Amino acid sequence: MSAPAGRKTWQAVQAAVRARISRRDWKPGALIPHEAELAQEFGCSRGTVNRALRGLAEDGLLERRRRAGTRVALNPQRRAAFAIPLIRDEIEGKGQQFAARILTREMRRPPPDVQARLRVAGAAPILWLETLYTADGAPYVFEARWINTHAVPRALDADFTVISPNEWLVREVPFDSGDFTVSAMAADGRSAAVLGCAEGAGLLVLDRRTQHGAQIITSVRLVFHPGYRMHTRS
Amino acid sequence: MSAPAGRKTWQAVQAAVRARISRRDWKPGALIPHEAELAQEFGCSRGTVNRALRGLAEDGLLERRRRAGTRVALNPQRRAAFAIPLIRDEIEGKGQQFAARILTREMRRPPPDVQARLRVAGAAPILWLETLYTADGAPYVFEARWINTHAVPRALDADFTVISPNEWLVREVPFDSGDFTVSAMAADGRSAAVLGCAEGAGLLVLDRRTQHGAQIITSVRLVFHPGYRMHTRS
DNA sequence: ATCATGTTTATGTATGCACATAATAGCGAG
DNA sequence: CTCGCTATTATGTGCATACATAAACATGAT
């Protein structure tokens, strides 16, 4: 859009509103003019203003309610989007050599907490994989994964030395949602040995669960090398 | 919208497309029909389809490019939105008693890494605060904060025993953006003492930086009690 | 074959209009 | 005064239309 003099695109309106909020022309909690009014002021249609404000509301900067109008959020920044690392890309993106080594692959009966997490009944053995990912040979992240082979029997025939479990699953298995949890742990003997770090080091842990409908496909725990950081990409 | 028989709302279209993707009617990497075609199929206008697909693209489920069309993302779930805890709400939301205690409040010269992080020149002392937040008296999170008093001189007069530094800043100081980093550390002597945990425990660390224009207002480090978890809220 | 150019096409955005919906405000009956 | 209905109003959504823009594609010159 070539931005003719007075005419505003929704991005321009959004930027203008953002500026007013951050300049405190409109203070937290205050009601701002309604869409029609802003449309007139900015010389654009109400649709354009709506688009701009909707985006700001999604970012948590505004709170909108029908009939009640739009007000500046009292407490912005309730959420932050973190980039979920795609191990291979992350390592190769730094110009380092990516490698994956499977440490364990066996059928194992999930402990009770994993049974709950995977929503599998009883203790029938399912596929258990441990993989170490390295960057230029240095341990980068240790992955421990359960694959619900009741839901994905084909996983039993996959050759994970050729394609990583994650890449195989993404490519082969339908899924529709998932959830993440971030926590921290002190390196125990095993983690320290695998990651080649001191026992007791602080390690960032990312648990990810992937599901298709009501069924849980897989549950992974990524334990990162000491010093690893995740940050907002926005 | 009362959803008359054939007529679809953008949410309905979005759900239908989501279903096709997760059912793998449209496989990862595949091109999907263009907007006009889908509009005809769903019996709605192109605008409605556009709205639906735009949302899915924002979620990372689709990749869209002008002229090239829309295809199913090869690797979805590149990002996840985490709820950034508002300590007081989080604790009170669990029905526990919130309390904050200021452990340190002094002018201090920032070490070089903090100087860089705050983009302040030289080593002129700025405000340094340490606060412990408790839930039912149990240590919950330990906050260490630098406030750039060159940018916010008023902070020198604020009484943070009445209002927490975070709440004061949110209410009093304009800002427009920020960034977050998540990492892990092993509890050192001081953290262990303050949080009442064993030395060497794995602790989740959240660093947050808040800025207004080019100026950094404040930089906070939150060190959570052992076992704390952050999870996606989406 | 390579490169520059123009053409085509799918998405991106703006507009005006209409109506749906939620929620407040106001009114009247009891 | 309270309860419940109605009117009002700001946002939410849908549609048809028009034009902008990016990128793939085709064409033609060198």
Q: Does domain A10-72 have CATH number 3.10.20.310?
A: no
Q: Which fold has domain A87-224?
A: Chorismate lyase (3.40.1410)
Domain boundaries, chain B: 10-72, 87-224
Segment among B36-50, B63-77, B138-152, B194-208 with least mean pLDDT: B63-77
Residue in the structure block whose two tokens are 């026992």: A199
Q: Is-same-fold flag (B10-72; B87-224)?
A: no
Of A83, A171, A186, the CB nearest to B79: A83
pLDDT at B75 over 90: no
Nearest one of B151, B152, B133 to B141, comparing CA atoms: B133
- Give per-residue pLDDT as tens, A93-103: 899 999 999 99
Taken as a whole, chain B contains a residue count of 234
Of A180, A226, A231, the CB nearest to B232: A180
Mean pLDDT within B207-223: 94
Mean pLDDT within A18-46: 95
Q: Is the CB of A4 under 7 A from strand C?
A: no
Of B81, B86, B186, the CB nearest to A200: B186
- Give per-residue pLDDT as tens, B24-66: 999 999 999 999 999 999 999 999 999 999 999 999 999 999 9
Mean pLDDT within A92-114: 95
Q: Is the CB of A119 under 7 A from strand C?
A: no
Residues in CB range of B113: below 8 A, 6 or more apart: none
Please report the pLDDT score of residue B7 as a whole number: 64
Nearest CA in chain B to A181: B231
Do the Cβ atoms of A185 and B184 come within 8 Å?
A: yes
CA distances, A211 to each of A180, B211, B232 (Å): 12, 38, 14
Q: Is the CB of A66 under 7 A from strand C?
A: yes
Contacts of B233 in chain A (CB under 8 A): 79
Please report the pLDDT score of residue A79 as a whole number: 79
Please report the pLDDT score of residue B2 as a whole number: 42
Q: Is A195 left (phi over 0), alpha (psi -120 to 50) or beta?
A: alpha
What crossing angle do the helices spanning A10-22 and A46-58 adopt, rounded to 10°? 50
pLDDT at A174 over 90: no
Mean pLDDT within A167-178: 86
Sheet holding A69-72, edge to edge: A31-32, A69-72, A62-65
Beta carbon pairs, A and B, within 8 Å = 135
Please report the pLDDT score of residue A234 as a whole number: 57
Contacts of A80 in chain B (CB under 8 A): 81-82, 84, 180
Mean pLDDT, all residues of chain B: 92
Taking C1' of C11 and every protein CA, the nearest residue is B66
Nearest Cα of chain B lies from the Cα of A68 at a distance, in angstroms, of: 20
Please report the pLDDT score of residue B176 as a whole number: 84
Higher-confidence residue: A14 or A213?
A14
Do the Cβ atoms of B185 and A170 come within 8 Å?
A: no
Please report the pLDDT score of residue B1 as a whole number: 44
ipTM of model = 0.86
Do the Cβ atoms of A181 and B233 come within 8 Å?
A: no
Mean pLDDT within B82-107: 92
The 3 state secondary structure assigned to chain A is: CCCCCCCCCHHHHHHHHHHHHHCCCCCCCCEECCHHHHHHHHCCCHHHHHHHHHHHHHCCCEEEECCCEEEECCCCCCEEEEECCCHHHHHHHCCCCEEEEEEEEEEECCCHHHHHHHCCCCCCCEEEEEEEEEECCEEEEEEEEEECCCCCHHHHHCCCCCCCHHHHHHHHCCCCEEEEEEEEEECCHHHHHHHCCCCCCEEEEEEEEEEECCEEEEEEEEEECCCCCEEECC
Residue A233 binned pLDDT confidence (cut-offs 50, 70, 90): low
Contacts of B173 in chain A (CB under 8 A): none
